[in-house]
Amino acid sequence: MNDEPHDTDSSRPYVLGHSDREIERLKAQARLVDPMTERFFRDAGLEPSMRVLDIGSGAGDVAFVAAKIVGASGEVVGVDRAASAVAIARDRAVEKAMTNVTFKEGDPGDMVFEQPFDAVIGRYVLQFQKDPAAMLRKLAAHLRPGGLVVFQEIDWGGLGSSPAVPTFERCAEWGRKALGKHGTESRMGTRLHAAFVSAGLPPPTMRLEAQIGGVPAIVPWLNRFKELIATLLPEIERHGIATAEEIDIDTLGQRMADEARALSSVVISHYQICAWTRLVAG
């Protein structure tokens, strides 16, 4: 999931919100995920001088990855419906002295831009859409002929541990159930192909990466996973999936790490799956 998710569907509230804690979680998560995203984007065909539209840009991390690739001769426009997220992204762009990226507030499907883009990108966006294919069709309209459509999504089906880490396995189930109750697609990564084809786009090329390891290597990811569960905690409680006492968020990360260490377990993160395709050239 958002793991870096962003609010682009006005028909329902965004499950992860934009609290200060959530923004900090996304920044920390980006430090783990950005190298994967950069590899995906380069493989997909992002290159210097491109004009790129980043959907659900949140605090700006994906836009910054793209801006690094397109360089000073390129341009990245990040769009998010949350004014608070846009304000944070703008401040961060100034701090980073990144003059080739700008951020706008609005619904990207309904916005009008002065000129078409060479690529439209997004990370952890389609999983929150009621109709991902419809969103893709709208976004493709912002591209020039031959333009790129590139989306990275997570897939909770990848989560696992061997030997099984009991607390981690329970957390994974709590998270899946909470997202399902909210209508979020926890398997969006493997459903990207169907969404692209349903949108009338050429069948995409796809890539998968994941983090895997034992303690201590997997601990940074386990801490990020703990923070995701903390964000989902109100939904988990609201739907009666688990109680705050059961989860005990303050000790959750340490408990998962301790169990994994005691069992000499390997933990596998969400699958990070990217799909991309090009529009037919005019």
pLDDT in tens, 43-96: 999 999 999 999 999 999 999 999 999 999 999 999 999 898 899 999 999 999
Instruction: Say what the pLDDT of residue 40 is.
Output: 98
Instruction: Say what the pLDDT of residue 30 is.
Output: 85
Beta-ladder partners of 122:
55, 151
Give 170-192 pLDDT, tens digit per residue.
999 999 999 999 889 999 999 99
Can you list the residues of the chain whose pLDDT is less than 50? 1-15
Q: Rounded distance, CA 74 to CA 46, Å?
A: 10
Topology, domain 20-278: Rossmann fold (3.40.50)
Are 250 and 123 in contact by the 8 Å Cβ rule? The answer is no
Instruction: Say what the pLDDT of residue 282 is.
Output: 65
Instruction: Say whether the peptide bond before residue 108 is cis (omega within 30 degrees of 0).
Output: no
Taking the model in full, what pTM does it have? Answer: 0.90
Element (H, E) at 43: helix 20-44
Q: Rounded distance, CA 8 to CA 129, Å?
A: 7
Q: Rounded distance, CA 42 to CA 57, Å?
A: 19
- HSE-CB at 131 with a 13 A cutoff on CA atoms is 11
The rounded Cα 241 to chain-centroid distance in angstroms is 24
What CA dihedral angle connects 45, 133, 125 and 33, to 10 degrees? Answer: -40
The domain ranges of the chain are 20-278
The type of residue at 169 is E
Instruction: Say what the pLDDT of residue 19 is.
Output: 67
